[in-house]
Amino acid sequence: MNNIRTLIRKEFSQFFRDKGNIRMLLMMPVIQLLILPFAANYEVKNINLCVVDHDHSPQVNQMIQKITSSGYISLVGYVERYDEALKLFEQDKADIIIEILPHFEENLIKNNEVSLAVSVNAVNGSRASIGGQYLQEILRDYNQNIRAKWIQFPKFNPAPIIQIERAYWYNPTMNYKHFMVPGILVILLTMVGANMSALNFVKEKELGTIEQINVSPIKKYEFILGKLIPFWIMGQVVLSIGLSIAYFVYGIIPQGSVFVIYLFSSFYLLVVLAYGLLISTYVSTQQQTMLISFFFMMVFILMSGLYTMIDSMPPWAQFVTKLNPVAYFVKVNRMVIMKGSKLSDILPSIYAMIIMATVLISWAILNYRKKA
């Protein structure tokens, strides 16, 4: 027990001796949490529309007015020929082209039905589909309006109408940052936990100081615990910094209990640290550590559901996310912070963390023994 305490003291004084470490520990959360949420905004707004008008009727003007008054869509071009509009697509200046055929108004009145050619720039698929939806919704609305204006409905309305009430829970202001910040917090914790512990461990190897520890009376498990505990504490500190930034900068107040978040992060950090330890048993230089942990980190982050939904992944990929600790914490953090989920709601995720931690730590210790 005494040995462990000494080792922990060693780690801390070694860590705080290097000003670069402290800067990284403090700067990383600040930079990531202050810049990333502003950049990682997938809200689709500012859709640029170009109209190709072959009709020039008052009806068309009204329609364009209606579309642009929604606030989501703005008119960037009003041209005579389709290929001029296509130019704007090529330069990425327009997202949607509406082509209005000649006699639009006339046909609408005479034939009761008129088609409208809508082309969407779909290089970015998700932007295209959401933008297309907005436009269609506005058109549907506009269509209802002209019908209401033109038809003198009899007092008794024979057409059944289903009224749809829409409610958006848990994020009433529809603020994308509130969605991203809890997720980015997890990435932060992961980078600190995994990278720093792996690098720290490999440094001892590279410098040869690990040999000295190996010949000292310190036992293996004491050495490993002596490495894990300091970084576990630093992880919790980073989490606290992150939660404070979320509160003071973004005004995010956890709906659920903060205790649940810390409880989960205690197990999560064990998994991440064990993972860092495991990597360090396989590599020999800091450069390799960086490259390999960078590679895995990328896979973990991309497959975590932070930027893209896990729901829309194919089944095999959804299975992979079950093995990804980052995915669990991203989900849990969002659930607790935004929806106020309780301990009982996230118990399955905690069990998963315990299993992963056990497996990874045993693997790391076994592998470490073999080499030492």
Partner 1 sequence: MKQFWVFVKKEILHILRDKQTLFVLIGMPVAQILIFGFALSNEVKNSNIAILDQSKDQATEQLIHRIESSRYFDIKAYLNSSDQIEACFRKGDVRLVIVIPSNFENELQHQHKASIQLIADATDPNLGTTLVAYASAIILNYQNELLVHQKIPYTIVPEVKMIYNEQLKASYNFVPGVMAMILLLVCSLMTSVAIVREKELGMMEVLLVSPLNPFFVVISKTIPYLFISIFNIVSILILSYFVLEVPIKGSLWLLMAESILFIITSLSLGLFVSSNAKTQTSAMFGTLIGLFMPTLMFSGFMFPIDNMPLPMQILTNIIPSKWYFIIVKSIMIKGLGFISIWKETLILVCFTAVMIFISVKKFNKRLEIA
Among residue numbers 233 through 292, which ones bind partner 1 (CB under 8 A)?
Answer: 283, 286-288, 290-292
Contacting partner 1 within 191-210 (CB under 8 A): none
Out of 66, 340, 363, 365, the only residue in the binding site for partner 1 (CB under 8 A) is 340
What 3-state DSSP class applies to 54? coil
| Binding flag, residue 26, partner 1 (CB under 8 A) | no
Residue written as tokens 């704007």?
88
| Binding flag, residue 83, partner 1 (CB under 8 A) | no
Out of 11, 331, 361, 368, the only residue in the binding site for partner 1 (CB under 8 A) is 331
Q: Are the beta carbons of 346 and 336 closer than 8 angstroms?
A: yes
Q: Find the largest Cα–Cα distance for the chain.
A: 96
CA atoms within 13 A on the CB side of 114: 19
As a whole number of angstroms, the distance between CA 141 and CA 99 comes to: 19
| Binding flag, residue 136, partner 1 (CB under 8 A) | yes
Where would I find the H helices in 195-340?
A: 197-207, 209-215, 220-250, 258-282, 286-302, 315-322, 325-334
**Shortest distance (Å) from residue 289 CB to partner 1:** 10
Out of 122, 218, 263, 352, the only residue in the binding site for partner 1 (CB under 8 A) is 122
List, in order, residues 6 or more apart from 356 with CB less than 8 Å away: 271, 323, 325
| Binding flag, residue 71, partner 1 (CB under 8 A) | no
Q: Are the beta carbons of 230 and 15 closer than 8 angstroms?
A: yes
| Binding flag, residue 39, partner 1 (CB under 8 A) | yes
Out of 13, 17, 152, 174, the only residue in the binding site for partner 1 (CB under 8 A) is 174
Which amino acid is present at 251?
A: G
As a whole number of angstroms, the distance between CA 98 and CA 137 comes to: 15
| Binding flag, residue 80, partner 1 (CB under 8 A) | no
Out of 313, 343, 352, 365, the only residue in the binding site for partner 1 (CB under 8 A) is 313
Both tokens of 365, joined, read 């210790």
Out of 1, 19, 71, 311, the only residue in the binding site for partner 1 (CB under 8 A) is 311
Picking from 250, 248, 188, 253, the residue whose alpha carbon sits closest to that of residue 31 is 188
Out of 71, 83, 113, 217, the only residue in the binding site for partner 1 (CB under 8 A) is 113
| Binding flag, residue 118, partner 1 (CB under 8 A) | yes
Out of 166, 217, 248, 370, the only residue in the binding site for partner 1 (CB under 8 A) is 166
| Binding flag, residue 160, partner 1 (CB under 8 A) | yes
Out of 1, 152, 164, 217, the only residue in the binding site for partner 1 (CB under 8 A) is 164
| Binding flag, residue 215, partner 1 (CB under 8 A) | no
Pick the closer one to partner 1 by CB: 198 or 346: 346
| Binding flag, residue 123, partner 1 (CB under 8 A) | yes
Picking from 280, 228, 297, 268, the residue whose alpha carbon sits closest to that of residue 355 is 268
Residue 228 CA to its chain's centroid (Å): 28
Q: CB under 8 A: which stretch of 115-123, 211-219, 229-237, 269-277 binds partner 1?
A: 115-123
| Binding flag, residue 153, partner 1 (CB under 8 A) | no
What 3-state DSSP class applies to 123? coil
| Binding flag, residue 61, partner 1 (CB under 8 A) | no
| Binding flag, residue 169, partner 1 (CB under 8 A) | yes
**Shortest distance (Å) from residue 44 CB to partner 1:** 7
As a whole number of angstroms, the distance between CA 232 and CA 197 comes to: 9
